[in-house]
């Protein structure tokens, strides 16, 4: 009777000791350790943020551990002359970043991934802004071609075109050196050419 109780207590003691152990990966000096010796990496606590656009928070706490990163690269611009003599500016944009450019509410009220804005300048100094929006999310390394709405000025009067991608700065694009292209010159009255390739 006495031997059984000693064996029972020994079994209870060994189970108690092993209950707090965990298996550590191979290649370390010890195979077992207690929970207090576990190799847990510290995680940075991000404080609540407010008044950010677009809103990437949930109850004012950041959703992502690291901020998304995209890189919108304006590859090329060109022009098309319509039958009435007006101009349509097209832009080819590629996402060279590490994350998808998702749809969000733009400052213009549109729900889109981003938009392009082209400023058309005429010979007498008049300026007109035309835009186009990418309504579908832009995946990584994808390329899209966006065409703006037609201008009110005639193509023959245009002397300069400046195109910028994401003028609202809603895309998390830390590198903004490759999202502008410009063209300067005179266009023929019968054909419009403003081809610029990066």
| Residue range of the domain that includes 160 | 72-197
Nearest to 189 by CA among 91, 82, 89, 88: 82
Q: Residue 104 sits in a domain of what CATH number?
A: 2.60.40
Q: What dihedral angle (degrees, nearest 10) is formed by the CA atoms of 20, 24, 29, 34?
A: -20
Could you tell me if 89 and 185 lie in one domain? Answer: yes
Give phi and psi for 85, each to the nearest 5. 95, -5
Whether 19 and 116 map to the same domain: the answer is: no
Same domain assignment for residues 79 and 120: yes
Average pLDDT in the chain: 78
**pLDDT of 147 above 80:** yes
Structure tokens at 3: 């031997």
Q: Are residues 11 and 100 in the same domain?
A: no
Region of poorest pLDDT, from 36-50, 71-85, 130-144 = 36-50
- 45 domain residue, yes or no: no
Whether residue 104 is contained in a domain is answered as yes
Beta strands in the chain (DSSP E): 21-23, 32-34, 57-58, 61-62, 72-81, 87-95, 104-105, 111-112, 114-122, 127-134, 143-147, 158-165, 180-184, 196-197
The domain total for the chain is 2
Question: What is the rounded CA–CA span in Å between residue 23 and residue 35?
Answer: 10
pLDDT at 160: 93
Same-domain check for residues 114 and 180: yes
Q: What's the pLDDT band for 59 if we cut at 50, 70, 90?
A: low
Cα 52 from Cα 157, distance rounded (Å): 41
Is the pLDDT confidence value at 56 over 70?
A: no
Q: Which pLDDT tens digit goes with each residue over 16-50?
A: 666 555 555 545 555 545 555 556 566 666 655 55
Q: What is the pLDDT of residue 90?
A: 93
Same domain, 101 and 10: no
Residues 16 and 93 in one domain: no
- Token look-up 């100094």 returns 125
Q: State whether 34 and 116 are in the same domain.
A: no
Both 36 and 92 in one domain: the answer is: no
For the chain, percent of residues with pLDDT exceeding 90? 22
Q: Which two tokens stand for residue 71?
A: 């890189």
């Amino acid at each position: 009777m006495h031997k059984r109780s000693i064996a029972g207590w020994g079994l209870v003691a060994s189970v108690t000791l092993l209950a707090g152990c965990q298996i550590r990966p191979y290649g370390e000096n010890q195979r077992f350790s207690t929970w207090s010796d576990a190799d847990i990496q510290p995680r940075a606590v991000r404080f609540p943020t407010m008044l950010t656009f677009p809103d990437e928070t949930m109850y004012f706490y950041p959703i992502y551990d690291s901020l998304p990163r995209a890189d919108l690269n304006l590859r090329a611009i060109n022009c098309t002359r319509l039958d009435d003599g007006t101009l349509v500016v097209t832009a080819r944009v590629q996402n060279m970043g590490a994350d998808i450019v998702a749809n969000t509410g733009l400052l213009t009220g549109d729900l889109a991934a981003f938009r392009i804005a082209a400023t058309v300048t005429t010979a007498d100094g008049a300026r007109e802004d035309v835009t186009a929006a990418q309504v579908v999310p832009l995946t990584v390394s994808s390329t899209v071609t966006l065409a703006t709405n037609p201008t009110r000025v005639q193509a023959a009067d245009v002397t300069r075109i400046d195109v910028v991608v994401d003028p609202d700065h809603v895309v998390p694009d830390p590198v903004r050196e490759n999202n502008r292209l410009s063209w300067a010159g005179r266009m023929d009255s019968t054909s419009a050419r403003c081809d610029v390739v990066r």
